Amino acid sequence: MFDRLEDLLIRYEEIMGELGEPSVTANPDRLRTLMKEQSDLTPIVEAYREYKKRNQDVQDSLAMLEEEKDEEMRELLKEELAGARSRIQELETEMKVLLLPKDPNDEKNVIVEIRAGAGGDEAALFAADMYRLYVRYAERKRWRVETMDAEEIGIGGMKYVSFMITGQGAWSRLKYESGVHRVQRVPETESGGRIHTSTITVAIMPEVEDFDVEIDMNDCRFDVFRASGNGGQCVNTTDSAVRLTHIPTGIVISCQDEKSQLKNKDKALKVLRAKLYDLEQQKRHDEEAELRRSQVGTGDRSEKIRTYNFPQGRVTDHRIRLTLYKIDSVMDGDLEELIDSLTAADQAAKLAKMNR
Q: What is the mean pLDDT of residues 7-32?
A: 88
- Please tell me the predicted confidence (pLDDT) of residue 292: 44
Note whether 139 and 71 are within 8 A (CB). Answer: no
pLDDT at 39 > cutoff 80: yes
- b/e code 21-60 from CB counts within 10 Å (16+ = b): eeebeeeeeeeeebeebbeebeebbebbebbbebeebbee
Q: Which residue has the higher pLDDT, 294 or 131?
A: 131
Report the alpha-carbon distance of residue 321 to residue 310 in Å, rounded: 18
Domains of the chain by start residue, with CATH: 2-98 (1.20.58), 110-349 (3.30.70.1660)
- Please tell me the predicted confidence (pLDDT) of residue 49: 93
Tell me which range, 77-91, 207-221, 249-263, is most confidently predicted by mean pLDDT: 77-91
- Please tell me the predicted confidence (pLDDT) of residue 243: 87
Q: Report, in angstroms and rounded to the nearest whole number, the Rg of the chain calculated over CA atoms.
A: 26
Those residues with Cβ within 8 angstroms of residue 130's Cβ, 6 or more apart along the chain or in another chain: 114, 181, 200, 202
- Please tell me the predicted confidence (pLDDT) of residue 241: 85
Q: Which of 53-62, 109-118, 218-227, 288-297 is least confident?
A: 288-297
**H-helix or E-strand containing 244?**
strand 241-246
Those residues with Cβ within 8 angstroms of residue 279's Cβ, 6 or more apart along the chain or in another chain: 249
Q: Which of 63-67, 318-322, 333-337 is least confident?
A: 63-67
In Å, how far are 20, 22, 346 from 25, measured between CA atoms? 7, 5, 39
**H-helix or E-strand containing 99?**
none
- Please tell me the predicted confidence (pLDDT) of residue 70: 83
Amino acid residing at 171? W
Report the alpha-carbon distance of residue 159 to residue 137 in Å, rounded: 21
- Please tell me the predicted confidence (pLDDT) of residue 181: 96
Q: What rounded mean pLDDT belongs to the chain?
A: 85
- Please tell me the predicted confidence (pLDDT) of residue 171: 93
Going by the DSSP 8-state scheme, the letter that residue 230 receives in this structure is S
**pLDDT confidence tier of residue 295, bands split at 50, 70 and 90:** very low
Q: What is the mean pLDDT of residues 333-337?
A: 95
Q: Which residues are bridge partners to 165 per DSSP?
A: 110, 145
- Please tell me the predicted confidence (pLDDT) of residue 293: 47
Query: Model-level pTM?
Result: 0.71
User: What does residue 183 show for φ and ψ, rounded to 5 degrees?
Assistant: -120, 140
Neighbour tally for 308: CB within 10 Å: 21
Note whether 248 and 263 are within 8 A (CB). Answer: no
